[in-house]
Structure 1
């Protein structure tokens, strides 16, 4: 059978106040065509469907319209959706009874019975081949919080209980799936998590840090598993040297740090209970993200690079989003005005100005402060230290006066300013 693996859509996302609805719709239209052209039997969506736990109505409509159209265009298609750390499990699962009638299984929550035991059955989803018979079982495990993992287990000394619980849950779900397998049926896992040595984009990926640790070992997956479809990291990558444990990555760049990513959906062909082939299908980029200059440069060089931009005349929704990267010696009050003047008349949307300050290592403090020392600092002390760190010189009197006025206003407003 043939699977398509995708994740981290982040529907409803805005990039520095520019909403991405057009780009997301172009991806979803492409994915619909790809489902049909690739003759996919199942679509696995591995979490972070939405960008926030309370997505706008437009993003929710976009998802449900896609699910309806996918089923209409490919009536035999099984669709499995799990919640990611950005998603609200309850909100994602709310329409599940309606979606199940149209071939979509949504797993957002870990459910326990009256005895407190995890309902593992609801995490197992049968996947059907082109002949309509069950060809694989999917372990659809959403993003797990500490309260979601099995209770009462005592891990080995030095092993984090949360991490131990995640591994135990996958083991229990795998054992149940294995008991159901007949005639060479494959077992496929889904998860939304951060694996050991996974390469992340700190600009757009929310870190999953619980109990001071977050990275899982590939050992949570049984060696006989056919494929593990992962979500959370936006860069498409293998886990370790395992061809069958993969992040597909996000379908579009979610920050300027991701402009060089090759965004893709993974096609997975199962045969004989294994992943016979994993093939990237590159997602066309509807809107370009530009970083000018490619590396931070002095202001005059950056302005020259902007003036030299030669871009095609495109409708507003298709115009590139731009990050300007400037290397500064000192604060530049008129920075935005000068950049906007250099871009006047150009078909580009200025999304972000990224100033980088030159730092003098000789002015940096040699040692980090202790917790006791931090507790003794006053707000103006912190302001002075940050100013020195950012600009390599002491804060000017007018800056200190403005900061004092801000703090005074905040105290009068009850800290609401």
Structure 2
């Protein structure tokens, strides 16, 4: 028996990019994905977390997801959609609509649940995948983002975050191995940061100093494929079958060169010659991100050389990020000068930053000034250091835990 599924993650529906909605770009991606489902007719679609960009997504973002699920079900009624919560998602929120999801042959796993005797509730975390004839062709261990407060202190095996993570993986994988037959595949879907993986600057930090990045030794050799979410760059981690699919659109200018994709996976555990096949399917980019770098003279030359041709809809215009290098303070009307140099009605200038170069008055290392607002972590570090303290790893870890707890507390607040 073989199983065929598509692996994707980190949609970040509802994201605003420098105050610009990404709704159009997500619409284009989802329409493209529906066409892939129509053409390929997989048994399952795996969405490995960060479905939404924020814990309390807008009604527009939620509608976008549920309309996709309805369209996907119409396109491939036999296909199951399996989703897990990422660190940007509210696990409780995505599980709230379970009756609606069932109508679309979809399942969401948002949180880890425990039995009355403090043992792990494995039933909700190990999901069967069926073929058209309703035969089980695979089992999927679905692990949402693991928040320390939800997994520690429940029993003797969960005294620390690390022991709890090891206990969860071992317990679930062993139970899944008991369920599966030799002809059925075993898949694990997780939203986590793995050791050795490459990050970008758009990913919300969920570890400090890489000390809590997970090891691939957590994954038993019996697992045929590990479908990862959280990191936006498509990549394998150590072995070919442990993969991040990456985000479908670039979520920051640092991701311009990423080859955004979904992974088309076919597994056949009984085929001793080729038990798996992974194909990266490139996602078309509907709106370009353009990074301009150099001296002011170079920047103006690059702006004036950009392709012409007006784009009527503002939300379909291309994004431009400028970093100019200078030894002098900027002119007061510099932004307007940049806007005037851009071809008319085609681009959105979303960020300007300057790189000061050393001169006679500044012999020391060049200072970089960004006009972006600081992240909570950077703001905390700056204020902490101004007080004369050193923000070491333990302090940053405690601060990150406070941020997680604050974000998680939003789950319990009623929507406005």
Please indicate the TM-score interval, normalised by the length of the shorter structure.
Answer: 0.7 to 0.9
Deviation at 1:343, TM superposition (A): 1.7
Correspondence for 1:260: 257
Correspondence for 2:282: 282
SS at match of 1:194: coil
**Residues 327-376 of structure 1 deviation map (CA, whole Å, 9 limit, x = unaligned):** 122331332122112125251111111322225785369xxx9x998435
Q: Are the equivalent residues in 2 in contact too, given 1:188–1:229 (CA < 8 A)?
A: yes
Correspondence for 2:297: 300
User: Structure 2: which 5+ residue stretches go unaligned?
Assistant: 367-380, 390-416
The whole-number CA distance in structure 1 between the counterparts of 2:214 and 2:156 is 18
User: Structure 1: which 5+ residue stretches go unaligned?
Assistant: 378-417
Deviation at 1:251, TM superposition (A): 0.3
Deviation at 1:71, TM superposition (A): 0.8
Q: Which piece of structure 1 moves more, 264-273 or 79-88?
A: 264-273
Correspondence for 2:411: none
Q: Which residue of 27, 37, 46 maps to 2:48?
A: 46
Correspondence for 1:354: 353
SS at match of 1:195: coil
The whole-number CA distance in structure 2 between the counterparts of 1:302 and 1:153 is 60
Q: Are the equivalent residues in 1 in contact too, given 2:307–2:343 (CA < 8 A)?
A: no
The whole-number CA distance in structure 1 between the counterparts of 2:73 and 2:155 is 42
Q: Which residue of 112, 122, 126 maps to 1:110?
A: 112
Q: Are the equivalent residues in 2 in contact too, given 1:237–1:247 (CA < 8 A)?
A: yes
Q: How does 1:115-134 map to 2 (within 5 A)?
A: 115-134=117-136
The whole-number CA distance in structure 2 between the counterparts of 1:23 and 1:300 is 32
SS at match of 2:120: coil
1:228 aligns with 2:222: no
The whole-number CA distance in structure 1 between the counterparts of 2:269 and 2:297 is 62
The whole-number CA distance in structure 2 between the counterparts of 1:290 and 1:98 is 40
Q: TM-score scaled by structure 1?
A: 0.82
Q: Which residue of 87, 92, 95 maps to 1:93?
A: 95
Correspondence for 1:245: 242
1:177 aligns with 2:176: yes
Q: Are the equivalent residues in 1 in contact too, given 2:248–2:261 (CA < 8 A)?
A: yes
Correspondence for 2:6: 4
Q: Are the equivalent residues in 2 in contact too, given 1:236–1:263 (CA < 8 A)?
A: yes
Computing the radius of gyration from Cα coordinates, the structure with the larger value is 1
Deviation at 1:41, TM superposition (A): 0.7
Deviation at 1:212, TM superposition (A): 7.3
The 3 A distance-change label for structure 1 pair 337 and 71 is same
Computed over aligned residues only, the root mean square deviation of the Cα atoms, in angstroms, reads: 2.5
The whole-number CA distance in structure 1 between the counterparts of 2:229 and 2:291 is 26
**Residues 56-91 of structure 1 deviation map (CA, whole Å, 9 limit, x = unaligned):** 110000000001111111010011000000001111
The 3 A distance-change label for structure 1 pair 273 and 359 is farther
Correspondence for 2:32: 30
The whole-number CA distance in structure 2 between the counterparts of 1:167 and 1:8 is 24
The whole-number CA distance in structure 2 between the counterparts of 1:305 and 1:210 is 38
Deviation at 1:325, TM superposition (A): 1.9
Correspondence for 1:163: 162
Deviation at 1:234, TM superposition (A): 0.3
SS at match of 1:355: strand
The whole-number CA distance in structure 1 between the counterparts of 2:388 and 2:128 is 59
Alignment length (residue pairs): 365
The whole-number CA distance in structure 2 between the counterparts of 1:257 and 1:38 is 32
Deviation at 1:265, TM superposition (A): 0.4
Q: TM-score scaled by structure 2?
A: 0.82
The 3 A distance-change label for structure 1 pair 114 and 276 is same
The 3 A distance-change label for structure 1 pair 327 and 273 is farther
The whole-number CA distance in structure 1 between the counterparts of 2:305 and 2:37 is 41
The whole-number CA distance in structure 1 between the counterparts of 2:92 and 2:219 is 26
Deviation at 1:211, TM superposition (A): 9.4
Correspondence for 2:150: 148
Q: Are the equivalent residues in 2 in contact too, given 1:186–1:273 (CA < 8 A)?
A: no
Higher RCO structure (Cα 8 Å, ≥6 apart): 2
The whole-number CA distance in structure 1 between the counterparts of 2:174 and 2:290 is 48
**Residues 253-296 of structure 1 deviation map (CA, whole Å, 9 limit, x = unaligned):** 0111111111000000010268510110111111111112xxx3
Correspondence for 1:393: none
Q: Which residue of 217, 220, 237 maps to 1:219?
A: 217
SS at match of 2:387: helix
**Residues 3-44 of structure 1 deviation map (CA, whole Å, 9 limit, x = unaligned):** 100000000001111111011011001101101101211000
